Amino acid sequence: MSRVLDRRQVLRGATMAGGGLALSAYMPAWAQPVSAGIAKPLPTVSGEDITLKVAHQMMMIDGRESHAIGINGTVPAPLIRLREGQNVRIHVVNDLDEETSIHWHGLLVPFQMDGVPGISFPGIPARSTFTYEFPIIQSGTYWYHSHSGLQEQEGHYGPILIDPKNPDPVQFDREHVIVLSDHSFQHPHYLFDRLKKESGYFNRQRQTLAGLLAGKDQPLQERLMWGKMRMDPADVADVTGSTYSYLVNGHGPRDNWTALFKPGERVRLRFINASSMTTFNVRIPGLPMTVVAADGLNVRPVQIDEFQFGPAETYDAIVSPPDMRAYTLVGESVDRSGMARATLAPREGMAAEVPPLRKRPLATMKDMGMGGHDMGTMDHGAMQGMGNGATGAQAGSMAGMDHSAMNHGAGSMQGMDHSQMNRGAAGAAAGGMAGMTMPQGQSGTMTGMDHGSGTMPGMAGDQSMAGMDMGNMNMRDFSKAPEVKKGPGVQTISAMPVDRTGDPGQGLENVGHRVLTYRDLTALDRNPDTRAPEREIKLHLTGNMERYMWGFDGEKLSENPDPITLLHGERVRVTLINDTMMGHPIHIHGHFFELVTGKGAYAPRKHTVLVQPGGTVSWDVTGEEGDWAFHCHMLYHMHAGMMRVVQVRKAGEAAA
Amino acid sequence: MSRSILLAGFASAVIAGPAFGQSMDHSMHNMPGMTMPAKPAAKAAPKPTRKATAKPASKRKAPARQAASRRAQAQAPATDPHAGHDMGGMQGMDMGGQQSAPAANPHAGHDMSAMSGMDAPAGTPQDPHAGHDMSAMPGMAMAGDQGGAKVGTDLPPGNKPAPAPSDDHLADRFWGAKAMATSREDDLRREHGGMTYYQVLFNLAEYQARKGSDGYRWDGEAWVGGDIDRLWLKSEGEGGFGKSLDSAEVQALYSHALDPYWNLQAGVRYDIKPNPSRTYATVGIEGLAPYWFEVEGALFLSNKGEVLGRAEGYYDQRITNYFTLQPRVEANFSAQDVPETGTGSGLTDLEAGLRLRYEGRREFAPYIGVSWERQFGDTARYSRARGGDTGGFSFVAGVRTWF
């Protein structure tokens, strides 16, 4: 099975990955030499006293030189390897001509060591040194990055690996750190500026007249409906492969970073999404992955073929490649405009076929927060409102119905080959709205559905399903979101947001193999706090793609919104409602939260959660004293204002 | 090597008897081709593992078991390798038939052969919602939910009030109030939504080839400011080569965002041409209309008391992701005759254009197209009286550019 480098394959992958701009370097794409692959490990620093020097440097990506901000001379920054239970002192030398900072993403540190300028400390001025000092009270895969300006986009990020004090419940023979990132040869301020002036600037995969005539993408009627709403379903990623090179450990697709293994070994891959703006779909064709940790913390092993993760999330997965052959590790950008590519191989210089980029997804009505209406990709969350299993009778007409919701009446499905069904379904529901032309509602196919009318909060009732003209719908019904400040920064309010933690992620609904969902995750250890939340905080993720404004509850951080307040030790439930058509990886500093996915005291614990477009996510969290940053980890969303301060005070010290 | 598997099994075994079978089964699903307990097994988790494998579930105390089986249900979707799979391919299946089948077991349909000898089905309560998270359905009475205590994230939230925000900043205690105040302003507010932006855009900057003498035309704007309030400058005009300007105007406007798409704009307009020049107070609206039409409308009140109006709109039709066709219309109106400037009342003139541009770089998009201009009514009569032309076709070539 193993094969030597197939030049054409590699180039095809690379061409698509690099996009137009990246390839306009020194010679045409087809003439650039193909790298044999680099298996060098990341540089490592460890111990109790570490020095990190932040400085401008050059880096090479696919044979092309780029400006970057590195640490100790490398991008990504060195791997910091620590041991649970130790103390660490980290001297950060700022050799830049501007202020910098380092935030230890996912690490539970005293808030004043958390590294967010303006919240936890005043930043590290140009040409000065700052010393962080904190105990290491956890283990797992984490990372660190600048929290100043847009430095993270320039290469100021690196992995952290903490070995557990006690024997690791995950057994492995070898491990690799896989830092996925996005890099542009243009300055991040330039990229942000483009988005501000023309939000679709980087999208070269929009719907076109030529596409319409060729029968691609949405049919005319749907395009008109979306046009009427001034929503672009092709707007899946703000910044795309038209300017980004997608990197694995700092190497471009043609560099082909290679991770070595011996056949039969259990190899632990520590995936870190250190990108600024890119949600990745990660898979290794031909090699199933067993996810054993999420955001650094152990979960019960779950075997999958692909997972999607947003910026700042991490997953650890075990793979056991059985043969003497190479495997391609694909990190495909969610909008399929490019890919990060690496190789797992028994020896250096081997490569496997690089799969072509798959078709880019289009947003659906569900992505616009009309979950109840989008029968094409109906999911678990939406099905919860169905009358106790009594509705299965008409389900035959519901193309694209989610399997997980069918467990109700699955008795006669014994022996069915699920994988084949998925293949069959791929075509049927690829557009998300297949089988349902919205303006007419195709109400016939849905008449039999009992939506548990009245029992489902936020559901407008059965009659609304029939003959509804979505185009006439109020896209900004603020009565559905009383918390949200009305203003130009709020383009849409999700009319019927649904819990999408059971969804595999945008564009992965019908890929024909197992894709991880948040509902697949169960914590290995019992949650440390299993009390009931004392209250619920509802937060809307809001934005305006046209003006490129982003915020929480309609407000940018620059507008001085009130902080989110918690008491130290207080248990609260936070429900995030995505009122936008984009996924947002939401991160809270200094805390792990427990996802509310029906796992009781074994809820998966995370520091960042990707809230799917038009969807909701709930989590429980216990307040830890301090002022903490809370933000969308899409760097330009945060820069545009999508950030809040979480103020946690001891009961006696809180304002009355 | 299979310690993690054992641990997974162990975890569920500790919680639950009935759950054990399911969990184990799923662990196996997750690890095809793995041979079960290898050598480190006994060492890794000796006691509980032995217990779990040896003792049947029924030996456990009843309450514990009840709670545990609930846990097991809750976990079912997570361990279900088929969860989240699309069933689109099942169109036309007789779901009714499934209804009559025993619907209780969430694992029905999965290969249970690995579990022979287990009494998992019997141990599974008849909960039609097994494996489903009902937490999103507050207020809904669930048959299967009664009895037994929920734990952790399965519990509903209370309604305790939130603490009031405090004015202090904890970091001040460590790094000094002054340094933090500066940092809050410079690093936090300004860097997270408080920036100032600007743009200069020429939608039209073109050469016009037409019968008689060729000419030129521009239509551009520039703005600077934040997200809501901006200062706008607009300018448009045209002229013929070898002749003086036909018309030229500049506007300085304050612009305020009204909603996600529309801006209210008010300010002054100054006409450099035609002579004698005029100054106008202007108020208008500009924005993105449904179906992606860029439109603009304005009223102008001159220093002589005359009232003019203008409406403008264009649409960018992407032919491909690089070629865009822009139909554009601009119409000017006047409330009265203004003989001085050769303006008649009513619709004074109309320009309709169709321009095809290439956006290799978005900021510099060369275009070609046609433009049709026409004066109407008294305006046309004034022009004819002066020996000027009243419109016609032009072939145009120019650049749409911004920075």
**SS3 of A56-116:** EEEEEECCEEEEEEEECCECCCCEEEEECCCEEEEEEEECCCCCECCEEECCCCCHHHCCC
- What is the length of chain A? 656
The residues, ordered by sequence, that sit 6+ positions from A400 with a Cβ below 8 Å of its Cβ are A375, A376, A377, A378, A425, A428, A429, A432, A434, A435, A509, A510, B86, B87, B88
pLDDT of residue A370: 83
pLDDT of residue A43: 85
Question: Which pLDDT value is given to residue A653?
Answer: 73
Across the interface, of A397, A504, A601, the residue whose CB is closest to B151 is: A601
The helix (H) or strand (E) run that includes residue B6 is helix B3-15
Q: Which amino acid would we find at residue A53?
A: K
* Average pLDDT rounded to a whole number, residues B250-274: 96
The C-alpha atoms of residue A646 and residue A566 are separated, in whole angstroms, by: 7
Min distance B1 CA to chain A CA atoms (Å): 6
Q: Quick check: B358 pLDDT over 70?
A: yes
* pLDDT of A258: 92
Contacts with B163 from chain A: Cβ below 8 Å = 565-567, 649, 654-655
What six digits make up the tokens of B368?
A: 């070609």
**Alpha-carbon gap: A40 to the closest alpha carbon of chain B (Å):** 26
> Would the pLDDT of B96 be above 70?
no
Task: Tell me the C-alpha to C-alpha distance, in Å, between residue B66 and each of A523, B15, B145.
Answer: 21, 10, 12
More confident residue, A652 or A429: A652
- Cβ–Cβ gap B164/A566 under 8 Å: no
pLDDT at A451: 35
Nearest Cα of chain B lies from the Cα of A228 at a distance, in angstroms, of 4
Q: Which among B94, B261, B362 has the least Cβ separation from residue A396?
A: B94
pLDDT exceeds 70 at position A249? yes
Question: What mean pLDDT is reported for chain B?
Answer: 74
Residue B359: enclosing H or E segment and its boundaries?
none
Q: Does A636 touch chain B (CB under 8 A)?
A: no
Contacts of B150 in chain A (CB under 8 A): 600
Instruction: Write down the pTM of the prediction.
Output: 0.78
User: Ramachandran region of residue A301, left (φ > 0), alpha (ψ -120 to 50) or beta?
Assistant: beta
Task: Extract the tokens encoding A271.
Answer: 């995936």
Q: Is the pLDDT of residue A470 over 80?
A: no
What number of other Cβ atoms are within 10 A of residue B118's Cβ?
A: 19
Q: Is the predicted pLDDT of residue A490 greater than 80, yes or no?
A: yes
pLDDT tens, B51-75?
A: 433 344 343 443 334 443 444 343 4
The answer, for A217 touching chain B at a CB cutoff of 8 Å, is: no
pLDDT for res A38: 62
By C-alpha distance, which of A230, A641, A238 is closest to A476? A230
Reported residue count of chain B is 403
Question: At residue B12, does pLDDT exceed 70?
Answer: no
Burial of A159 (0-12, 13-18, 19+ CB in 10 A): buried
Q: Which of residues 145-184 of B touch A (CB under 8 A)?
A: 150-167, 169-171, 174-176, 179-180, 182-184
List own/partner pairs for B357-364 with CB under 8 A and 24 or more apart: B357/B323, B357/B324, B357/B326, B357/B400, B358/B322, B358/B323, B359/B322, B359/B323, B359/B324, B360/B322, B362/A194, B362/A198, B362/A201, B362/B402, B363/B401, B363/B402, B363/B403, B364/B399, B364/B401
What is the average pLDDT score of chain A? 83
| CB proximity A527 to B under 8 Å | yes
Q: Chain A closest CA to B303's CA: distance in Å?
A: 34
- The dihedral through the CA atoms of B262, B263, B266, B269 has a sign that is negative
- Asked if A403's CB is within 8 angstroms of B85's CB, the reply is yes
Q: What is the mean pLDDT of residues B42-48?
A: 39
**Nearest C-alpha of chain A: how many angstroms from B253?**
19
Query: pLDDT exceeding 70 applies to what percent of chain A?
Result: 78
Round to whole Å and give the CA distance between B211 and B213.
6
Distance in angstroms (rounded) separating the CA atoms of residues A392 and A178: 44
Model confidence pLDDT, tens digit, residues A96-152? 999 999 999 999 999 999 999 999 999 999 999 999 999 999 999 999 999 999 999
State which H helix or E strand residue B380 sits in.
helix B377-386
Q: Which of A538, A429, A543, A539 is nearest to A475 (CA)?
A: A543
Tell me if B167 sits within 8 A of A655, measured CB to CB.
yes
SS3 A387: coil
Confidence of residue B49 (pLDDT cuts 50, 70, 90): very low
- Sign of torsion over alpha carbons B44, B47, B50, B53: negative
Quote helix, strand, coil % in chain B, to nearest 5. 30, 35, 35
pLDDT at A520 over 70: yes
Hey, what are A438's tokens? 């919205």
- Backbone torsions φ then ψ of B286, nearest 5 degrees: -145, 140
pLDDT at residue A421, rounded to an integer: 35
A275, A451, A505, B28 from A517: Cα distances, Å: 20, 24, 8, 19
The strand order across the sheet containing A44-46 reads A44-46, A79-83, A157-163, A140-145, A103-105
**CA A168 to chain centroid:** 27
